Amino acid sequence: MDGSNTPTTAPVLILLGPPGAGKGTQARMLEDKFGLVQLSTGDLLRAAVAEGTDAGKQAKAAMDAGGLVSDEIVIAILRDRLAAPDCASGVILDGFPRTTVQAQALDTLLAESGGRINAAISLDVEDAAMVTRIAGRYTCAECGEGWHDSFKQPKISGTCDTCGGTDFKRRADDKAETVASRLSVYHAETAPLIDYYARQNALSRVDAMGAIETIAEDLSAIVKTATA
Ligand code: AMP
């Protein structure tokens, strides 16, 4: 963040959790409810790959294999996005940071503008359930709303409730072999951030195995307190 657009008081929230924990779904709900902007480094990287930018070309192999894109690329992408004017109302980071180096870079970026992390919220789930969750998920190609074969079906099958779109897509890296790598990378590289934020007294934890609405209520209560 270069600090020019984002006021020092703008809330910064982090959602931590393995792939399939529901970070994207919950971030979108919080975005609507609290007027925050969801920043997903996964979405930013997928856009870079689709546009064929240099960063996208470098990121693609790691993403296809379920590994992590280099800290350098991801931090640069996030820094640029955070400097955009719409982030001035505050942000929910979904999928960043994923390594200790990224967490330290974020602390430095925020410190430069007098900002801080309001809360890092860990969505606690069991690994065994994640493969099923990921295998069934898809999004509306028009508005990006997330859906699931078992847990969140549109009211009218084949039509997005949110925008009426009828075109849906599934992520290429949501196949079983890649999910296994993504989960092991999460445990090796990202799970240590739970302790990192606990040491900063910024950590909250939510049981994310239940219904989407219940988890959303728990998260809202934390965000309300953290941004008050
Ligand atoms: P996601 O949509 O968050 O599941 O991210 C999809 C893929 O993008 C991941 O499996 C990584 O390859 C890459 N990615 C997303 N965010 C990061 C990050 N913060 N650091 C490194 N790689 C990332």
One pLDDT digit (tens) per residue for the chain, 228 residues: 444 444 457 999 999 999 999 999 999 999 989 999 999 999 999 999 999 999 999 999 999 999 999 999 999 999 999 999 999 999 999 999 999 999 999 999 999 888 899 999 999 999 888 888 898 999 999 999 999 998 899 999 999 999 999 999 999 899 888 898 999 999 999 999 999 999 999 999 999 999 999 999 999 999 999 998
Task: Give the residue from 79, 102, 128, 72 showing the smallest Cα distance to 197.
Answer: 102
Distance from the Cα of residue 5 to its chain's centroid? 22
Burial (CB < 10 A; 0-12, 13-18, 19+), residue 152, is middle
Q: From the CA of 137, how far away is ligand 1's center (Å)?
A: 17
Q: From the CA of 41, how far away is ligand 1's center (Å)?
A: 6
Closest ligand 1 atom to the C-alpha of 97? 19
Closest C-alpha to ligand 1, atom 12: 63
pLDDT of the residue at 1: 46
pLDDT of the residue at 128: 86
Closest ligand 1 atom to the C-alpha of 41? 16
CA-CA-CA-CA torsion sign (205, 210, 212, 216): negative
The answer to whether the pTM exceeds 0.75 is yes
Strand partners, 138: 147
pLDDT of the residue at 8: 52
Residue labelled with tokens 């998920």: 137
Task: Give the residue from 129, 138, 133, 196 showing the smallest Cα distance to 167.
Answer: 138
Q: Cβ(14)–Cβ(103) under 8 Å? A: no
Give the DSSP H or E segment for 60.
helix 54-65
Q: Cβ(8)–Cβ(113) under 8 Å? A: yes
How many whole angstroms separate alpha carbon 45 and alpha carbon 63? 9
pLDDT of the residue at 177: 82
- Ligand 1 shell residues, CB under 6 Å: 19, 40-42, 45, 62-63, 66-69, 74, 95-96, 98, 102, 173, 182
Q: From the CA of 88, how far away is ligand 1's center (Å)?
A: 24
pLDDT of the residue at 6: 46
Q: What are phi and psi of 117, to 5 degrees?
A: -85, 125
Query: Which residues belong to the active site?
Result: 23, 98, 137, 171, 182
How many whole angstroms separate alpha carbon 184 and alpha carbon 165? 35
Residue labelled with tokens 């990921």: 134
Q: From the CA of 123, how far away is ligand 1's center (Å)?
A: 17
